[in-house]
Structure 1
Amino acid sequence: MSTVLDPTFPILQPGVGDIHGDHYLRATTDKVLWGRLPCRTDAPVLTVAPGATITIDTVSHEGMLDDQGSDPRAYFRAHGVHDSAVLIDAIDIAANVSRDPGADGPHVINGPIRVEGALPGDLLKITVVRLDPRVPYGVISSRHGKGALAGELPRHAQNVSVFTPIERRGDSWAGVLPLTDDGDAVVEFPLAPFLGTMGVAIDADERPHSVPPGSHGGNIDINLLVAGAVLYLPVQVDGALAYVGDPHFAQGDGEVALTALEASLRATLRFDLVPHAKALADFGELDGPLIRTTEYLVPTGLDPDLNAAMRSCVRAALALLQARYGMAEHLAYAYLSAATDFNLSQVVDIVCGVHARIRVADFTAVDRG
């Protein structure tokens, strides 16, 4: 199948197009990390007051990695993409930002961002205001040693990176994949953009690897974090030192092949603080990420062992129901079994993720807001 990109799609090069936030953070080489996450010793690239919105140009690592040639222009040109549709910040980062392929993760990380007044014990509240695709294509990759079928797929020694254009379907966009390498028949799937990595700096002197998620958030890969969703993260260091990255156009729960549809986004986010006392009253003592959507409260469980991640998520859900609604533990356990779905966030990031979807409508009569 030949690549034909929609000529009407607006390529969001740095500084091009609408900027919806109070602040604008470009992905310049001095404002990103590649393969590592911020820690307490990192200096902020931007400082904002609580309530501020920031528009952030995020960059997908796909097309930049060493096993793809470390040259986004050449990589995407080989897939029929004109040079004008290759992001210049991706080209600059690939050429000028240091990364050790053997020791560092793949993700390009924007930040850290200092939020004035944030203290350990508070919650950083990140609201996803909007997510705009920067290019009309992405990549889905599978590599040996990674993925749900590590060592089995891909069938040969090299990585398999599947170039995936997106096409307009009415008022929305769809990802398009061929059924076979040499055929023109295609399968289409809807886009649901989100940021796979959203986190706060750890209280340590060494930057953590960008792949495994943890209590700091990081690479949680939860596809519910679309526009309108909210992520709560326990602050570990003064100022929170927040960061984002790993943009996706779409991902199925589990993300079994190692990556999903990885592609660059322009993200507009609002950063607020929930003081410790209010955080305790609203959610109890959180020790990891919590998501809220219009439909669900979403506690999480993280562990290298998937069974342990599941148990951790159940415990987090029980604690949330007890703290927020005063629900007796044995009744909360029964409710979760009868009415709550537990989903695999991802099984490919060293630390596995499970998240629960607790319907907020079930608690309308007792919800404190």
Structure 2
Amino acid sequence: MTTRQGLPRSTPLDSAPLHTGTGVPSDATYLPSTGDHVLWGRLPCATDRAVLSVEPGEEVVVDTISHEGILEDQGRDPRAFFEPHGVDVLDDAVALAASGYARTFGVDGPHVVTGPIEVRGARPGDLLAMTLVDAQQRVPYGVVSNRHGRGALPGEYPLDGDVFSVFARAEGDTGVMTYGPQDERTVRFPLAPFLGIMGVAVAGDERPHTVPPGAHGGNLDINLLTAGATLYLPVQVAGALAYVGDPHFAQGGGEVALTAMEASLRATVRLDVVPREEAVAQFGELVGPLARTREYLVPTGLDPDLDVATQNCVRAAIGLLQARYGMDPRHAYAYLSAATDFDISQVVDVVKGVHARIRLADFA
């Protein structure tokens, strides 16, 4: 099986759920999502202690936990939440929900992040390159939720109550959702798993909320970041202190209902350091996230205002074309208008996101 990028795609689950340690190669550098390896609702900052330290270029197998099914408005009891669907629940999700982890519902974010991971030698000014090598389904199901008047249509949805959660099954590379009065109708859609959250720690001693993305990465929700894609992030603290979370099996551009098909993944991530001089030569002076797939360079723009986010993405794309290909800004602006798609990453995370798809083949 191949992705549209022509790279190995994520691995469907064809056996029992991947509980902590199950099916991990004996020679892998492995980071389970146990209570001492995760943050729930907040992202790492400079004063956080790394739970793992690796050399640049090392691959890490990381377990992630979906927040769907463990949140307070769903009972904070994943076994009870998923019982009507007759599915197995991950042991680490059950343990975290029952652990008494100190968080304030409605104040802290919903997401569980695994990390942080120190990448030795990474310094502020460098770029951390996070490549998703593989994304393995840990369970064959996921959940899509609209809650608390959020999403693209706040005040209109949910139609009643505080949260509306839809269960969806994964059948290989296909998502299956039933609907109708007696669930007599079925809609099927392709799966393209990725990590909604990939990031580096921020400077200072205050942990950021998990919902709004920023220069640190975080909750970018860029659905192009499937297996084989790389996210470049400006390092803010020594060692970078990388983390991952918010696993998805599928997401449309915009993620309009608030969440997508949220489902736990086991991700293999390679962590590389691009020294500042090389980073500037390749990409210019990056002030925010940049992605690369086999087909595209993907500059980003972020802002609470979607119009401003689009403008920021266009400026980032112009700067990238100037630095990488020597285009003057007038020609870069014209080329982007003629040949580049600007896509909405998400409109539901307070800070909205736009990303561009610049074809690498156009400059071959």
TM-score normalised to structure 1 length: 0.93
Residue 177 of structure 1: how far off its partner (Å): 1.0
Question: CA RMSD of the aligned region, Å?
Answer: 1.3
**One-letter identity of the residue aligned with 1:40:** A
SS at match of 1:272: strand
Counterpart in the other structure of 1:201: 201
Counterpart in the other structure of 1:74: 80
* Residue pair 1:254, 1:344 contacting (<8 A) in 2 also: yes
Q: Give ranges in structure 2 of 5+ residues lacking alignment.
A: 1-11
Q: How does 1:237-256 map to 2 (within 5 A)?
A: 237-256=237-256
**One-letter identity of the residue aligned with 2:56:** P
Counterpart in the other structure of 1:259: 259
* Residue pair 1:19, 1:55 contacting (<8 A) in 2 also: no
Matched residues in 2 for 1:125 and 1:7: separation? Answer: 27
* Residue pair 2:118, 2:241 contacting (<8 A) in 1 also: yes
Residue 39 of structure 1: how far off its partner (Å): 0.3
Matched residues in 2 for 1:135 and 1:7: separation? Answer: 7
CA deviations on 1:251-282 (whole Å, 9 max, x unpaired) are: 00000000000000000010000000000000
SS at match of 1:148: coil
**One-letter identity of the residue aligned with 1:99:** R
Alignment partner of 1:87 is 2:90? yes
SS at match of 1:102: coil
* Residue pair 2:13, 2:140 contacting (<8 A) in 1 also: no
* Residue pair 2:38, 2:113 contacting (<8 A) in 1 also: yes
SS at match of 2:211: coil
Aligned partner of 1:165 among 169, 174, 177: 169
Matched residues in 2 for 1:309 and 1:27: separation? Answer: 33
Matched residues in 1 for 2:130 and 2:114: separation? Answer: 15
Alignment partner of 1:54 is 2:60? yes
1:222–1:181: structure 2 CA closer, same or farther, 3 Å change rule? farther
Counterpart in the other structure of 1:314: 314
SS at match of 1:78: helix
**One-letter identity of the residue aligned with 2:71:** L
Alignment partner of 1:269 is 2:269? yes
Residue 98 of structure 1: how far off its partner (Å): 1.9
Alignment partner of 1:128 is 2:132? yes
Matched residues in 1 for 2:27 and 2:326: separation? Answer: 38
Aligned partner of 1:108 among 112, 116, 130: 112
**One-letter identity of the residue aligned with 1:298:** V
Counterpart in the other structure of 1:300: 300
Aligned residues: 352
Matched residues in 1 for 2:29 and 2:146: separation? Answer: 36
Aligned partner of 2:21 among 15, 26, 31: 15
Counterpart in the other structure of 1:174: 174
**One-letter identity of the residue aligned with 1:36:** R
Counterpart in the other structure of 1:156: 160
Residue 22 of structure 1: how far off its partner (Å): 3.6
Matched residues in 2 for 1:321 and 1:106: separation? Answer: 37
**One-letter identity of the residue aligned with 1:94:** A
**One-letter identity of the residue aligned with 1:92:** A
CA deviations on 1:220-266 (whole Å, 9 max, x unpaired) are: 00001100001100000000000000000000000000000000000
SS at match of 2:338: helix
Alignment partner of 1:32 is 2:32? no
* Residue pair 1:21, 1:55 contacting (<8 A) in 2 also: no
**One-letter identity of the residue aligned with 1:188:** R
Residue 219 of structure 1: how far off its partner (Å): 0.2
Matched residues in 1 for 2:202 and 2:14: separation? Answer: 42
Q: Give ranges in structure 1 of 5+ residues lacking alignment.
A: 1-5, 365-369
Residue 10 of structure 1: how far off its partner (Å): 3.0
